[in-house]
Structures are given as C-alpha cells and as structure tokens.
Amino acid sequence: MKAQLLTIGDELLIGQTTNTNAAWLGGRLSRLGVRMTRTVTVGDTPDTITQELDRAYEEARLVICTGGLGPTHDDRTRDVVAEYFGAPLRTDADLLARVRQYYEQRSREVPESGRALAQVPEGFEVLENPVGAAVGLWHEAADGRLIAVLPGIPAEMKAIFDASVEPRLEQQPGVGEVRHRTLVTAGIPETLLQERLGDLSEALRDDVSLAYLPSTSGVRLRLSADAEQTRAEARLDEVAAVIRERAGDYIIGTGDLTLEMVLADTLRDRDATIAAAESATGGLIGHRLTGVSGASDYFLGSVVAYANAVKQAVLGVRAETLREHGAVSEAVAIEMADGARAALDATVGISTTGIAGPTGGTPKKPVGTVWVGVADADGAHATHHQFVEDRTLNKELFASAALERARRSLV
Amino acid sequence: MKAQLLTIGDELLIGQTTNTNAAWLGGRLSRLGVRMTRTVTVGDTPDTITQELDRAYEEARLVICTGGLGPTHDDRTRDVVAEYFGAPLRTDADLLARVRQYYEQRSREVPESGRALAQVPEGFEVLENPVGAAVGLWHEAADGRLIAVLPGIPAEMKAIFDASVEPRLEQQPGVGEVRHRTLVTAGIPETLLQERLGDLSEALRDDVSLAYLPSTSGVRLRLSADAEQTRAEARLDEVAAVIRERAGDYIIGTGDLTLEMVLADTLRDRDATIAAAESATGGLIGHRLTGVSGASDYFLGSVVAYANAVKQAVLGVRAETLREHGAVSEAVAIEMADGARAALDATVGISTTGIAGPTGGTPKKPVGTVWVGVADADGAHATHHQFVEDRTLNKELFASAALERARRSLV
C-alpha cells in the first residue's frame, strides 16, 4: 500500500517547528509495510490545502493529514476536508459534551471557537484523542481509499495513530507484507558495532535487510524480511541469532524497548531500588527514569548537585576530594554515587560529573568528558567516557551511559 | 518572493532521518522575507523527483532542492536536474582535481562513482562546499526563476546556503518583503489568550497577520507584516503594542526566547539563585534549567524526591503533613519548596507534586493535577493547576508552570 502525508501549518514552513511528525509516521508506516512515497507541508491556507489534498488523494491509497484541527481561526483542516469530500459538518452531541467537560475541568466556559472541536464531516468516523480535545477523523471510500486526519501536536497525533489508525490499517489487505525485527543495543557506538558485526551478507542473503538506527541511548538494528510470514519470521530468527552471537551482551532487548524500560525490568526482577546524583546531566537521569509509568516501584529520587556546595551538603562529597581532583573526576563521581545511595537509602546509586559544553572545557578535560559512578553493596567505581561537543547531545549521552552502567552492574 | 523546497531521500520517508533541513531553510528564508509556500519530500526515484521538480518550478520563483548529490548509485538529483533543464552534464576540470585531492587526503582512490561529483549541468553555476566534497548548483532562468541544488547533509547544506545562496538571494528584487515578530507568552492557555486578545482585526488590518503557536512552555504569537521594510516595522510596533496592552504580563519576551532563558535573565538581573524540589516532574525542571549554557551562575541544584522517604529525609517534609494532606497537596508543595530553598541555600525554591499519569489518579486528584510551590525570603505559597492525561505532556506542563511561577515571584 502506498501512502502520502500532508502536514499543515505555517509554523512548519517558516521553521519555527521541526516536522518530527513526518519521521515518526514514516517509521510507523514502514514497520507496517506501508510505503510512504511523498510528504508535503503547506501552510494554513484553504486553497493550498485543498490542492495538495487532491494530489495526494489521487496518488496514494492512504492519505494522512496532520495539523490545523485546533479551535482557533487559523485551524482550517476540518473545513477543507469537509468541503473536499462534499461532506456537511454536523455537531456531534457526545463530542460537544466532552468538549464542555474538558473546559469545565479547567474551570472555563467553552469559547465560541471551541465548538468547532465537536464538528464532524458526514461519513467520517471519530478517532478518540486520549490526550487532548481535538479528535481525529477517518474515512474509507467505497473504492478502498483511506484518509486519516490527525492533530498536529505530536503527542496527540501519536496517541491517536497508535490507538485508532494502526489497528484500522492492520485490517487492510496488503498491509504487513514486510516483517521487521529490531534488536536494541546499548553502550557501543555505531562504528564499533559495525566492526563487531562484520560482513553479514551471508546471513542476510537477498531477503533480509539491515539498518543501523543510531540514537543517543544506543543503536537499534532493524531487520526487514520481505517474504511470506512464516518464512520471514524464520529468516529473522536466523539473522538475529548471528547478530546476537557477534554483538554479545551489547544487545539489551528487542522491539520498542528503551534502555530505561530494560533497566526498570532489571531493577524489578532484583527487587532493587535506584537513586542518582547528577551534575552534568542536570536532572535528565531522573526525567528519563520517571518517563516510564510505574517508576516509583524502583526509583527513589535524584540529587541534582549542580553547585559544589550541594555536592558537599546533600551528598557528603568531601571538600578535599573536590579540591584535589576537581569536580569532574573519578573520585568525585564515586563519592557522588555513594552519597546518593546513602542519602536516599537505595540498592544502587549512580552519578554523572562532566562537561556538557559549550564552555568549561580544558585541554585535560575537554567538552564531552564525563565520569559515571556506580555504587552498590559491593562498593563503588567510576568509568570515563568522552563524547561530543554539543551540550544537548552530551547530556543525553551522559545519561545513557549512566543508565547502561547501572543496568550492567545488576546483571 | 515565493519559494518551494524539495527534499530528496528514502531515509526521510521511512523515518530514519528527521527533516531538519526544511525547518532550518524555512527559518532562513523567512528572515530574508522569502515566503516558503510548500515543502515536499520524495524518495530517490528519478520519475518522482522530476514530477515534483516540475510542480515546484511551476509554482514558485525560487526552488531549493536538497539531497541526492552524493557519489553513490542512489544519488540521482544531478542527473534529474540536468535532464529536466535539457542541460548536458560536463566534467569540470577544477572540480575533478579537487575531488581527487579530497579522496587522496583520505588515502583513497577516486571511485568511479566519485567522478559524478565533478559533473555540472551546462548553464549552472557551481556553489563551493566549504565542508564536503559535493558542491551545490545554482541556476537563474531568463524569466527570473531561481533554483539552488544543495547536498542533503545538514552541515554541508547550511554552509553552502550561508556562503553562496543567501548572498545571491539578497540581490534579488522583492527579497525582504515579509517581516516577522514573535511575542512569547507564558502561563496562559491558547484559548484564554485568544479571549483576552479579542478581535484584533482593527489593529491587524490587511497587512499584518497573527498566528498562535502553542507549545508546552507557552503560546508564541507570530506577527507577519507584508510591506516595505520601514512601514512593516512600524506596523509591527503598532500591533505589538495593542497585544501587549491586552495580554499584559503574560508576555515574557520577544523572538526566539524560551521560558528558561527569560527566567535565567531574571535571576541574573536580581543576583538570585534557584533550587528545585521535584516529585512529579522527576528531574525535568533541573534538566530544562541546565539546558541553558551558563546555568551554574544561578541554578544550584534540584532534589528529585520521588519517594516520600526522600521528601522527608532530604527536604524535611514532615511525616504528619504527608499523612494529613497526602503527597499531592498544597501543604506538601510548600514544605518541599521551603525544603529545597533551605537545603540548597538558594534565593528561590520551587517545587512540583502532582499526578502525571496514566495511573495514580483519583476522583479528587485526577491525572493532570499538580501543586506548584514557590518559596523565597517573603515566605512560601503554592498554586493548583489541572492539565491533561498524557504523562509526557504533563511532566512538561508541570515544569513550565513551576518555571513560570518562579519567574513571576521575581518580577
């Protein structure tokens, strides 16, 4: 099945927002075996939206539109879609009640514009929005052509796609022809991983392809098999086995798992708790650990000790250690991890102290340097890592290194 | 001047790469007053590239293509452009010498495919690439239509745009015609802001337009004036003044400022320091504050007290307060803010305690509830907010509320 994506919003054209929806949807469709052939972005101009909707609807069996479904005057997508399909807008009583409730919970009257949120073009199905007020819309034409209209806010778009669009696509003939399997790695950079895996052509043959998908928490290896289902699964098993043999314990799981989720499972399995002491990561370790629902089962807390005085007062790092070794050092990383473990009474304490940049680097401790500490009942140690020059990337890479060291200390 | 962008590459369609080039170019063109009306992404398929190149060239005076200029077999853009313009490819001797040198420096032979890098369609100008081997191409038609063909690697695309495309655009008549100004708000949802601003048509008239750009840290208001420069700036001043009068202190700045940056400036101005006590935000407040380089000037640290035992042990929250009011309560938010301020010895302490979801909600304290505490030399208080049902969004919204309350306490 071919698909085209139409993303709508002036903010995308003038560069105030990066179009992350396109990449996310492209990845999702690709996993379903739906082939995205084109994505288009236009502004909030009804004529242009109509023109592009028409082109996309002519060229692809599935069209996904995102953006322009909100309650304000520059949200034009609902009207344009209704007019394009000659489908009059009617007010859905259930939706209107929910919109009222949504505003009431916020102690506000429904604004005149809010009523647009309850309007549905005739012949369109409502796709529930679990995280916001603007619902999605779905239409299946008699000739099999499909259109999904979704909000532009990424969290809302994703929630509706997962809950309502993907299940509908899975029921379509021809969807799911390509089978995928993803192996999740951590703690090894892409180039080293490539060297370790070496030449895989004998294993991959003609029917399986391999893509390296690097991110700040590790490289995912995506295998795609283009074959009938049973055969495809067997081939994916074969290739995955070869990769596991070569990559060893750098493989931490399969599928949509994240490093945080793997660590969560490991901690739960061992009935262990974790606490962090963060300097260079500034709170990101805690933020990532608490991104997983149910984190209170094992995550006790984190002390973000940005100032040295806080390292001393809250974590018990000794003044002489700071003086002798500097804040970015093995000794301080160890005392921070020990301190977090003791102050928060956790099974495992982890720490980061480094230089995220862009300033603060020295020839001996350049930007990208980090010491990661791990403390448990057996003692404490720290490892040194050297990452990149970008502040945002470094914070993510430092946090990933700490989470991966914690996971390794538990297995 | 109207522009369209054609980005080329399979990796963009299947979601392996996020299209950051589109946002970057959109921002650059917008600042030049060139209006991007459409961006299109297609794969490395010559027919499709030709079709979209034709559409773009019909609809806009400026077309920018990115991607598909490298030396590999799936780089098709050079051939497609040459064929579309009926311009035979000739090998440029200077370029070939440089390609040889490029490969020599890397101790490699020039591969057969590498020769493509030295080919230029007749009538096209070469745009030097200061950071890579693939040069850009530029064409001005007799009727004034412009096309720039650039590599897809962001660093190369940006370097060529800055060095060669922008200067050429600045010499074109009509460039610089749309001026933008952005007013940044915080602490007020989009719909309430709309109500407050009311009907602006008298101020906007025909020559200024207004867009609402919501995000989890606030709504940005973007004004665009389509007029000659001096007149445009005067009109933007006029409309901005009307908006400022109506939106009052919800406007926290202009331009590309973020809430964190405004808070940073406010703290620096007052020689103040800040510390946080985070429960529901899990470290995100610290992460966001330390996203700004130089945060160590005012950010001391944060105690992520996810477990109640940590709230007591590190922040000094009293057991009876937790027992009587529950962890998500005004009283606990106040004691947490006070505790962070005292334990970290800061001018201002802020806190969050809430229910990010998806689990843990009750009828009295539904998912999305948060208490935000602020403590300073004058005492401590807390405010209640009710946000949404999505965990990730809630964490961002809770953190934004806390940062905004901290900013307000200082002004």
Walk me through the domains of chain B, giving residue ranges and CATH numbers. Answer: 2-170 (3.40.980.10), 178-254 (3.30.70.2860), 259-410 (3.90.950.20)
Nearest CA of chain A to the CA of B396: how many Å?
A: 10
Residues whose CB falls within 8 Å of the CB of residue A39, separated by 6 or more in sequence, listed in order: A4, A5, A6, A7, A22, A26, B12, B13, B40, B41
Q: Which residues of chain A does B401 touch, with a Cβ-Cβ cutoff of 8 Å?
A: none
Do the bridges between strand A348-354 and strand A369-376 make them parallel or antiparallel, or are there none, so unpaired? antiparallel
User: B252 is written with which tokens?
Assistant: 């926290």
User: A275 is written with which tokens?
Assistant: 């606490």
Nearest CA of chain A to the CA of B91: how many Å?
A: 32
**C-alpha neighbours within 13 Å on the C-beta side of residue B407:** 25
Of B20, B153, B17, give the one whose Cα is nearest residue A26: B17
Give the residue carrying structure tokens 């009876």.
B320
Cα dihedral B47/B43/B82/B89 (nearest 10): -120
Beta-bridge partners for B65: B6, B149
DSSP symbol at A240: H
CB A273 within 8 A of CB A298: yes
pLDDT of residue B99: 83
What is the Cα–Cα distance from A28 to A32, expressed in whole angstroms?
Answer: 7
Q: Which residues of chain B does A344 touch, with a Cβ-Cβ cutoff of 8 Å?
A: 307, 309-310, 313-314
pLDDT of residue B177: 67
Task: State which residue of chain A sits closest to B6, comparing Cα positions.
Answer: A40
Number of other CB atoms surrounding residue A132 within 10 Å: 21
Q: Is the peptide bond before B358 cis (omega within 30 degrees of 0)?
A: yes
pLDDT of residue A118: 92
Beta-bridge partners for A226: A178
Task: State which residue of chain A sits closest to B189, comparing Cα positions.
Answer: A106
pLDDT of residue B106: 66
| Of the partner residues B190, B283, B300, the one whose CB lies closest to the CB of residue A285 | B283
| Of the partner residues A17, A52, A284, the one whose CB lies closest to the CB of residue B287 | A284
Of A145, A148, A163, A169, give the one whose Cα is nearest residue A30: A169
pTM for the model stands at 0.78
Q: Which residues of chain B does A347 touch, with a Cβ-Cβ cutoff of 8 Å?
A: none
Give the residue carrying structure tokens 């080039």.
B21
Q: Is the peptide bond before B173 cis (omega within 30 degrees of 0)?
A: no
Nearest CA of chain A to the CA of B359: how many Å?
A: 8
What is the Cα–Cα distance from A97 to A107, expressed in whole angstroms?
Answer: 15
Beta-bridge partners for A36: A3
Query: pLDDT at residue A66 above 80?
Result: yes
User: In order along chain B (411 residues), what is the average pLDDT of each group of 10 residues?
Assistant: 94 86 92 90 94 96 94 85 96 89 73 83 94 90 96 90 94 79 93 92 91 87 86 94 96 92 97 98 98 96 97 97 98 98 98 95 95 97 93 95 97 90
Distance of CA A269 to the CA centre of its chain: 25
Q: Which residues of chain B does A114 touch, with a Cβ-Cβ cutoff of 8 Å?
A: 191
Name the H helices within B294-378: 308-315, 319-325, 330-344
Q: What are the two backbone dihedrals, phi and then psi, of residue A375, each rounded to the nearest 5 degrees?
A: -125, 135
Query: SS3 for B186?
Result: coil
CA angle B130, B131, B137 (to 5 degrees): 60
| Of the partner residues A23, A291, A304, the one whose CB lies closest to the CB of residue B301 | A304
User: B343 is written with which tokens?
Assistant: 């334990």
pLDDT of residue A16: 82
What is the Cα–Cα distance from B114 to B80, expressed in whole angstroms?
Answer: 17
Q: What's the pLDDT tens digit per position in A349-395?
A: 999 999 999 899 999 999 999 999 999 999 999 999 999 888 988 99
pLDDT of residue A81: 96
Name the H helices within B121-257: 154-160, 166-170, 190-197, 201-204, 229-247
Q: Do A357 and B389 touch (CB under 8 A)?
A: no
Q: Do B283 and A291 touch (CB under 8 A)?
A: no
Confidence of residue A74 (pLDDT cuts 50, 70, 90): confident
Q: Which residues of chain B does A391 touch, with a Cβ-Cβ cutoff of 8 Å?
A: 291, 293
Q: Which residues of chain A does B304 touch, with a Cβ-Cβ cutoff of 8 Å?
A: 276, 283, 286, 290, 301-304
User: A251 is written with which tokens?
Assistant: 């493989």
User: B239 is written with which tokens?
Assistant: 């409309």
| Of the partner residues B15, B195, B344, the one whose CB lies closest to the CB of residue A24 | B15
What is the Cα–Cα distance from B268 to B197, expressed in whole angstroms?
Answer: 31
Nearest CA of chain B to the CA of A358: how many Å?
A: 7
What is the Cα–Cα distance from B170 to B6, expressed in whole angstroms?
Answer: 21
Q: What's the pLDDT tens digit per position in A267-313?
A: 999 999 999 999 999 999 999 999 999 999 999 999 999 999 999 99
Task: State which residue of chain A sits closest to B392, comparing Cα positions.
Answer: A291
The mean predicted confidence, pLDDT, of chain A is 93
Of B7, B298, B304, B296, give the one whose Cα is nearest residue A284: B304
Give the residue carrying structure tokens 């009307």.
B242
pLDDT of residue B17: 81
pLDDT of residue A226: 77
pLDDT of residue A45: 92
Q: Do B278 and A283 touch (CB under 8 A)?
A: yes
Q: Do A278 and B289 touch (CB under 8 A)?
A: no
Q: What's the pLDDT tens digit per position in A339-351?
A: 999 999 999 999 9
| Of the partner residues A293, A305, A343, the one whose CB lies closest to the CB of residue B301 | A305
Q: Which residues of chain B does A286 touch, with a Cβ-Cβ cutoff of 8 Å?
A: 278, 282-284, 286-287, 304, 306
pLDDT of residue B85: 96
Q: Do A359 and B17 touch (CB under 8 A)?
A: no
Task: State which residue of chain A sits closest to B213, comparing Cα positions.
Answer: A11
CB B168 within 8 A of CB B196: no
Q: Which residues of chain B does A21 touch, with a Cβ-Cβ cutoff of 8 Å?
A: none
Of A7, A6, A61, A55, give the one whose Cα is nearest residue A34: A61
DSSP symbol at B165: I
Q: Do B30 and A15 touch (CB under 8 A)?
A: yes
Residues whose CB falls within 8 Å of the CB of residue B88, separated by 6 or more in sequence, listed in order: B82, B121, B122
What is the Cα–Cα distance from A50 to A56, expressed in whole angstroms?
Answer: 10
